[in-house]
Chains A and B, each alone.
Chain A
Amino acid sequence: MKLIIGIVRPEKANDVLEALYRADVRGVSISRIQGHGGELDRVETYRGTTVKMELAEKVRFEIAVSDPFVEPTIEALRQGAHTGEVGDGKIFVLPLERAVRIRTGDTDEDAVTPVGG
C-alpha cells in the first residue's frame, strides 16, 4: 500500500485525470500549489515593476493505492503529465502505514480499493 504524490503542470491535470481513469485508478485528491522545479523563470512586468516569477502554478495529486496499482498509477501520471520540457513535475511514492474509510470503518487495502471497483 503506497501513497503516490504527483506534482504536475496545471494544464496537464486533465490529461492526468484521464490517464488515471483509463488505468482504473479511482480515489484521487488534487490541490493547487505553487512550486519551483528548476524551470526558467517567467518574467512579468507591471508598469515599471519587472519581476521574476520564481514559483509556478502546479497541481498536486495524492493517490493512495494497493500494491498492484502502484506501477499503473505512476505510469498514468507520467503519461498524462509529460511534455518533455523542464517543469513537467515529480512523482513521489511513500509507504503508507494505515488507511481508514470514514464511512464504513474499512481499513488498509479495503479502504483504498474503490467500492464496486
Chain B
Amino acid sequence: MSLPLLPGTAVSAADTAWMLVATALVLMMTPALGLFYAGLVRAKNTLNTFMMTAGALGVVTVAWALLGYSLAFDKGNGFIGGLSLAALAHVGFAPRPGTEIPQLVFFAFEAVFCIITAALICGAVVERMRFTAFLAFMVIWSLAVYPVLAHWVWGGGWLARHGVLDFAGGVPVEMGSGFSALAAALAVGPRKDYGRQALLPHNTVYALLGAGLLWFGWFGFNGGSGYTVGNPGVLAFTNTLLAPACTLVVWFLLDLARGRRITAVGAATAIVVGCVAITPACGYISPTWAMLLGALGALPSYGLILWRPRTRLDETLDVLAAHGLAGMTGIVFIGFFAQAVWNGRANGLFYGHPKQLLWQFIAAIAGPAYAFTVTFICMKVVGLLLPLRASDREQALGLDVVEHGEEAYTSGEGAILVSPEELVGEGLTG
C-alpha cells in the first residue's frame, strides 16, 4: 500500500507500529503510578493522590504540545531547544531526524514521558499540598525543568555532544523526578503529623497492582526508546524483564536479612527501583550486566528508604530513593559496562573507554543539580501565587473531601440528594 503523505521512503511501518503501541503503554503508566501512590497513602487522601497523577495527563500534555516539546527537541543551543517546533509547528508525517518514525509519533511518545515524570514528583508532597498549586507547579516544571534535561541528553544538548549515554531517561525522567521531588518536599514542608504519628499505607494491593502495571508499561517505555523494532529495542525490552527481576530477588533477601519477613510494599518498591535502574542502561549493556545492575540497584535505594523516615525530611513516597538514586545507579553503571558489541555505539570503562565513565559521572551530577535547584525555585514561585499547603484542619479531614468534594470509599449512608437550586439557595459549600 502506498502512503502518499509520507515523503520519501524513510518511514518504517514496523517501527511506527511498535512506537504507536509503546506510546499507549507509557500513557498507561501514569494511572498505574496513581494506583501505586494511592495505595501508599491514608484512605482519606486516596483520590487526591490519584488525581495529582491524573492531573498530569491534562496539564502536562497541553504544556508539552504548546512549548515543552520544542524546548526539548528543537535544535536550539547546548542548553535548551528553540521554538521552531512550538505549538506543533512542523510536527507531521515526515520522519523525525535520526529515526524512521513520523515526528507526530515521536512527539506523542516523548509527551507521555513528560507526563509521567511530572506526575512522579507528587509522591514527595502528597497528603498536604494543595491540588491547584500542584497543577500549576507541574505546568511550570514541565517547561522549565524537564525539557532542559531532555534536551541535554536527547535533543542534541551538551551532554549528548559529549557522548553521554541515556537510553530511556536516567537524566530527565529518573534523576529529574527524584531530585525534583527532594526539592519539592523541602519547599512544601512535612505533613502535619509526620514524625509524630504512624502514617501508614492504606491499601497494599493497590501498590502492588500499580507497580505491576508500571512494569508492564515500562516495556513500552524502555523498549520504545530505541524508536525501532531493531536490536536496540529488542535489547532494551528484554533487559526490562531481567533487571527488575534481580532487584526483586535482592530486595527479598534484604527484607529477610533485616526483618525475617518479605514485605509486599517492599516488593512493589523493588519492581519500580529495578525498572528505574535499567531505564538509562537498557539499550547499552548486555543482558548479563543488566542482571547485575538490577541486583546492585537495590542496595542504595533500600538503604535510603530505611534511613529517610528517621529524618525530618517528609519526602513522603520516597521518589528520591526509588527514582533519583536508582536512576543515578543506572547512569553510572553505563560508564563501566556499556559494550559496543551490544549497543553499536560506545564502550564503558570495563571495555577500554574510561572517558565514558567520566561523562556519565558528570551527567549524574549536573542533572540532579539542575533539577533540584530549578524545582525549588518553581515551587517558591507557585507559592507566591497560590497557597502550597492545606491547613492542619484540612489535612486532618483529608484532602479527598477538602479538595475534590468526593471520597474514595463513600458508604452513601446518610447522603441526602440535593437539587441544584437548593445548593445555591442555601449557599452550601464543600
Contacts and interface: CB of A to CB of B under 8 A. Distances in A.
Interface of A: 9, 11-12, 14, 34, 36, 41-46, 49-55, 83, 85
Interface in B407-421: 407, 410-411, 413-420
A53 B414 contact: yes
A51 B420 CA distance: 10
Contacts of B429: 43
A45 B415 contact: no
Contacts of B430: 42-44
A51 B419 CA distance: 8
Interface in B371-430: 393, 396-398, 401, 405-407, 410-411, 413-420, 423, 428-430
Contacts of A9: 396
A95 B415 CA distance: 35
Given A11-B396, A14-B197, A52-B428, A44 B407 contact: yes
A55 B429 CA distance: 16
Given A14-B197, A43-B418, A44-B401, A34 B411 contact: yes
B414 A50 contact: no
Contacts of B428: 41, 43, 52
Contacts of B420: 50
Contacts of B406: 44-46
A83 to B, nearest CB: 7
Nearest to A55: B414
Given A14-B197, A50-B418, A52-B428, 4 more contacts: A34-B414, A43-B428, A44-B405, A46-B406
Contacts of B417: 49-51
B393 A52 contact: no
A12 B417 CA distance: 29
A45 B417 CA distance: 10
A45 B393 CA distance: 21
B414 A36 contact: yes
Interface in B24-66: none
Given A44-B430, A46-B406, A52 B413 contact: no
Interface string B192-205: 01000100000000
Nearest to A44: B405
B418 A42 contact: no
B418 A11 contact: no
A85 B397 CA distance: 13
A83 B406 CA distance: 23
Interface in B56-108: none
A34 B415 contact: no
The 7 closest A-B pairs by CB, nearest first: A55-B414, A11-B396, A51-B415, A54-B414, A50-B418, A52-B416, A44-B405
A45 B411 contact: no
A54 B413 CA distance: 8
Contacts of B401: 42, 44
A81 to B, nearest CB: 12
Nearest to A17: B197
A83 B393 contact: yes
Nearest to B397: A11
B142 to A, nearest CB: 29
B258 to A, nearest CB: 27
B230 to A, nearest CB: 47
A9 B401 CA distance: 15
Given A43-B428, A52-B428, A34 B396 contact: no
Given A43-B430, A44-B430, A34 B413 contact: yes
Contacts of A53: 414-415
Nearest to A56: B414
Contacts of B193: 14
Contacts of B405: 43-45
Contacts of A54: 414-416
Nearest to A50: B418
A105 to B, nearest CB: 36
Contacts of B397: 11
Best-buried of B411, B415, B416 by chain A (most CB within 10 Å): B415
